[in-house]
Amino acid sequence: MTLPDDSSRVDDATGENERRRRHGRAVGRPDGRAAGAERPRGRERGTGKGARRDLDAACDEERIPPVHEDDPSSTGQEEPLLEVLYRLEGSQEECRDRARLLAIEETAEVSPDLCDTPFFRDRVVGRVGQVSPLPGRRACRVSISYPGAVGGREIPQWVSVLFGNVSLWPGVRVEAVRPSPALLRSFPGPAFGIPGLRRLLGVPDRPLVLSAVKPLGRTVAELARMAEELALGGIDILKDDHGITDQDFAPFRERVAACAEAVRRASDRTGHRCLYFPTVTGPADEMAARAQWALDHGAGGLLVSPWVAGLDWVRALARQTGLPVMAHPALAGAFFSHRDHGIAMPVAMGTLVRLAGADLAIFPGPGGRFAPAPQEVAAWDRALKEDLPGVAPTMPVPAGGLPLEGLGSLLEIFGRDVAFLVGSSLYRHSPDLSANAAHLRRLVEEALEAIPPTPAPRRRSPSPT
């Protein structure tokens, strides 16, 4: 097999510097640790003239605020916009009316008559675009574009804008999120992504193989032994089971130090680099300290459940530690399990976690115990890898009871840019975890014979605009 040369898979230094700048890190640190540089920020939102005006004055037709200094339209720059595609229940006319109210509810959050001025229409309220009836259904797909000023540079605010108060309405579903290139510069995106992870691991083209130390209830010594055996067998990334946090069975600090040391010993013996990702999801006032402890004691990355802890923890911990971050889907099903309401899976565990900075994103794969539809998984894969200027692609991690056999069929969905997370079936294969891990590696390598090398554009991070 001929591998593409390094230039076809490593993005240029300018593109990576832009991503590292967003995280407060500089290129040239292969361990990804923070370089001490603060992320450049614009002036704080809420301090401009328009923000200081009281609502009555701002809504007065005779007192329209002048163009702000950071107004893109005043300089001819492209306007930052977040286009959201919603699925709304109702006839076309009902959906058009609902869309107008939705666009106000998610921004100005007042009665329509209180924000019916040029300033609010142009700078604050979402702009309703196409309203397209869905064939055979009493529903429509609706496009609403939100001005960048309403979200600023804050991920929690953008989540609130796209599905905040209207999450309390029936028959509203977010089906896609499309930031404009100008708005993308406000999101951190992955600091490593697919290209950076491959460089970090020294794995240029094959799928990554992952496993987990489990189950909850094992002691520190037992989990560390499992970690060492799996790493000796050639696992690329080893993570905690997401539910193993800080229980009496295996306290966080003791467990992380022991497992990280076990993985280091195995890597020293084999020469194959394995990264250990402990779970750091926990009480809000302890998560940053846990992440720092993991970094200081040799962890190679962090596992976070963003819909449990809060999506912005992905960004915050990546910036704090400089480590790759893997997003776990716990609780995410509450958003996308209903066809007519919520946030579609490719958005919740695809676009949003990618924009927040997840380098890897876990979601159940076909053939496991959750049985998502293949087309849904393919849409998730596209959301993680689609071309977003200046934003690296996130590595998809199908999981959830994947069988050892049949991984070749998943390569038809994901191609080579995929990380297979295999847990229970790997443990069941035999009592020898090292041999089981080596067997998994062989299965993946054999399945690759039918899959062509990944095209260069998929390997390269888009250049910033």
Is the pLDDT confidence value at 65 over 80?
no
pLDDT of residue 23: 53
* Averaged pLDDT for residues 399-408: 79
DSSP secondary structure letter of residue 271: S
pLDDT tens track for 105-154: 999 999 999 999 999 999 999 999 999 999 999 999 999 999 999 998 89
* Averaged pLDDT for residues 185-192: 94
Are 241 and 342 in a shared domain? yes
Q: State how far the Cα of 279 lies from the Cα of 240, in Å rounded to an integer.
A: 6
Is the pLDDT confidence value at 8 over 60?
no
pLDDT of residue 455: 61
Residue at 234 is within a domain? yes
pLDDT of residue 64: 27
Write the CA distances from 184 to 27, 107, 189, 267, 320, integer angstroms: 20, 20, 9, 37, 21
Are 180 and 200 in a shared domain? no
What predicted TM-score, i.e. pTM, was given to this entire model?
Answer: 0.81
The CATH number of residue 205's host domain is 3.20.20.110
| Residue after which a domain boundary falls, among 184, 215, 246 | 184
DSSP 315-348: HHHHHHH---EEE--TTTHHHHSBTTBEE-HHII
| Out of 218-227, 279-288, 348-357, 451-460, least confident range | 451-460
* Averaged pLDDT for residues 49-63: 33
Domain with 122, as residue range(s), is: 67-184
pLDDT band at 6 (very low <50, low <70, confident <90, very high): very low
- What burial letters (b/e) apply to 383-394, b meaning 16+ CB within 10 Å? bbbeebbbbbbb
Output the average pLDDT for the chain. 83
Q: State how far the Cα of 238 lies from the Cα of 255, in Å rounded to an integer.
A: 14
User: Which residue bears the tokens 């040029």?
Assistant: 118
Are 319 and 417 in a shared domain? yes
Is the pLDDT confidence value at 24 over 80?
no
Are 217 and 179 in a shared domain? no
Q: State how far the Cα of 224 lies from the Cα of 213, in Å rounded to an integer.
A: 8
Is the pLDDT confidence value at 461 over 80?
no
Are 317 and 417 in a shared domain? yes
pLDDT of residue 365: 80
Domains in the chain, number: 2
| Residue after which a domain boundary falls, among 126, 156, 184 | 184
pLDDT of residue 457: 45
Burial class for 160, CB neighbours closer than 10 Å (0-12, 13-18, 19+): middle
pLDDT band at 320 (very low <50, low <70, confident <90, very high): very high
The CATH number of residue 155's host domain is 3.30.70.150
Are 228 and 135 in a shared domain? no
Classified as helix, coil or strand, 212 is: strand
pLDDT of residue 198: 97
Residue at 89 is within a domain? yes
Residue at 325 is within a domain? yes
pLDDT tens track for 410-428: 888 899 999 999 878 888 8
Are 170 and 242 in a shared domain? no
Is the pLDDT confidence value at 430 over 60?
yes
> pLDDT over 90 for what percent of the chain?
66
Is the pLDDT confidence value at 27 over 90?
no
* Averaged pLDDT for residues 253-259: 97
Residue at 39 is within a domain? no
pLDDT band at 45 (very low <50, low <70, confident <90, very high): very low
Listed in order, strand segments (DSSP E) in 148-257 are 172-179, 208-213, 237-240
Is the pLDDT confidence value at 321 over 90?
yes
Are 214 and 130 in a shared domain? no
| Residue after which a domain boundary falls, among 184, 216, 240 | 184
Are 205 and 176 in a shared domain? no
Q: State how far the Cα of 176 lies from the Cα of 135, in Å rounded to an integer.
A: 19
pLDDT tens track for 75-102: 446 789 999 999 999 999 999 999 999 9
* Averaged pLDDT for residues 313-337: 93
Q: State how far the Cα of 404 lies from the Cα of 423, in Å rounded to an integer.
A: 9
